[in-house]
Structure 1
């Protein structure tokens, strides 16, 4: 069954604080969906495993980097992952192994199949399977996050559409 024939697919991107990596993935994937005219077939959200920044907008460096490539994050606000997310979402994609491990601990066993690393969907040969947290680094880290998210998002969209 193709995405056009099925129910709404729900994708949740997860990092630690939901202000850098997961909102970047949210914005990139949301734009890919819109450009593919699938916004009524795929729902996107993001969350953090920690409640450090609830209600805050994404990091300004992440927003500026994304905006330079045409992705808007201004409407996004940080939230923490909730127990119902494991039920509600079809894909729960972590940015790194540490956050994936936290998700695996919290996730009811019957929904573990929904958990993965976002980079597992990257179709390009890339040595890194994790998207490193750019928070304490320079602007290059935010560019690198965006590069990796763009590559993996394209593969994820193609996977969902099959």
Structure 2
């Protein structure tokens, strides 16, 4: 079983959105049972917070079944357990590189490194923006995760 971990800053917008997209795409490709998918944040708040309602709304507008999850902070066990740790942006990547044990550094990747047709390298944080910013996050997640799943499962 391949274990994927999506990581953003607070684990309330981008990484929970990526998790939902990946779960659905994996099911649609018939590989859902081959993957374990989770999300975390480099600076997830304590106490845990629910997924941003704007993220839920954006997912539901696209036909995803989105559940309100609770945020969680990246832990050392994530690096041991995951096969691939996917950062949403360079700031998340830098935070991960600071805390990741050297023997697991090869697992760190930017999510958009899988979206070769995309002209961006980072999934922007939509938190301080509008509904269109959440739609852009979904566009980028769908492109990258589709390519990621094809790469790892076909």
Root-mean-square deviation (Å)? 1.2
Q: Gaps spanning 5+ residues in structure 1: where?
A: 1-7
* Rounded Cα–Cα distance in structure 2 between residues aligned with 1:53 and 1:32: 30
1:71 aligns with: 64
* Rounded Cα–Cα distance in structure 1 between residues aligned with 2:91 and 2:149: 24
Q: Gaps spanning 5+ residues in structure 2: where?
A: none
* Rounded Cα–Cα distance in structure 1 between residues aligned with 2:36 and 2:54: 25
Aligned residues: 154
Match runs of 1:80-91 below 5 Å: 80-91=73-84
Between Structure 1 and Structure 2, the one with more helix by share is: 2
**4+ residue segments displaced more than 6 Å:** none
2:55 aligns with: 62
Candidates 107, 116, 129, aligned match of 1:137: 129
* TM-score (normalizing by structure 1): 0.91
* TM-score (normalizing by structure 2): 0.96
1:96-150 Cα deviation digits (max 9, x unpaired)? 00000000010000100000100001132x2210000000011110010000000
Candidates 52, 77, 98, aligned match of 2:91: 98
* Rounded Cα–Cα distance in structure 2 between residues aligned with 1:31 and 1:54: 28
Candidates 152, 156, 161, aligned match of 2:148: 156
* Rounded Cα–Cα distance in structure 1 between residues aligned with 2:80 and 2:66: 26
* Rounded Cα–Cα distance in structure 2 between residues aligned with 1:54 and 1:38: 34
1:50 aligns with: 43
